[in-house]
Amino acid sequence: MSTLEIFGLPKGYMEGIGHHHDWTKDSAGGKDKKKGKKGKDTKKKSFNSLAKKLGKEIQEDKRPTYFDLKPFLKALKKFFSCTPEERTKMRTLFLEKQTQVRNVFKDSHGEISFKKVMDVGELSRYLVEGGINLDANM
């Protein structure tokens, strides 16, 4: 599971972190339910106003409690798209741009250091800032 974190799976996914991040969105149109857009929300509003008149309990939108597989499937798809050809492209790119890649690993004094540690997820951002154009799949 920690390998899939490199491909976008939220850290702590097995403990429930990163589940249902879009639970307020309407699955059909992608519109936010809480902002009162047309669709399922207008039906719920009319139901809630009727329930209020009858003295019943008003329904609230609650975050789902079941396990969300969307983040896992998204990370797994990225993992499988990382083919040997893609890895070869990256190695070739790193060999061609050796100087820029090394410059990413400079410490606070501007010296290249083997002690500098960075998260793999941050590496792409530093490489792009260093002048290396990466493909979205990379």
Q: Can you tell me the mean pLDDT for 75-102?
A: 87
* Residue 97 counted as domain residue: yes
What residues make up the domain containing 106?
A: 83-138
Question: What band does 12 get if pLDDT is binned at 50, 70 and 90?
Answer: confident
Asked if residue 116 is part of any domain, the answer here is: yes
Domain-located, residue 90: yes
Domain assignment of residue 77, yes or no: no
Q: Domain for residue 121, yes or no? A: yes
Whether 96 is in a domain gets the answer yes
Give a yes or no: residue 13 inside a domain: no
| pTM of the predicted model as reported, rounded to 2 decimal places | 0.51
CB 117 within 8 A of CB 2: no
Number of domains in the chain: 1
Q: Which residues contact 6 (CB under 8 A, 6 or more apart)?
A: 120, 121
Torsion of CA 108, 114, 119, 123, to 10 degrees: 80
Ranges 47-51, 59-63, 68-72, 112-116: which has the least confidence: 59-63
Q: How confident is residue 138, by pLDDT bands cut at 50, 70 and 90?
A: low
pLDDT given for residue 81 in this prediction:
84
Residue type present at position 128: V
Mean pLDDT of the chain: 76
Q: Is residue 93 part of a domain?
A: yes
Q: What is the pLDDT of residues 54-80, one digit of tens each?
A: 777 766 667 677 777 888 888 888 888
The total number of residues written for the chain in this structure: 138
Task: Please report, as a single letter, which amino acid is at residue 22.
Answer: D
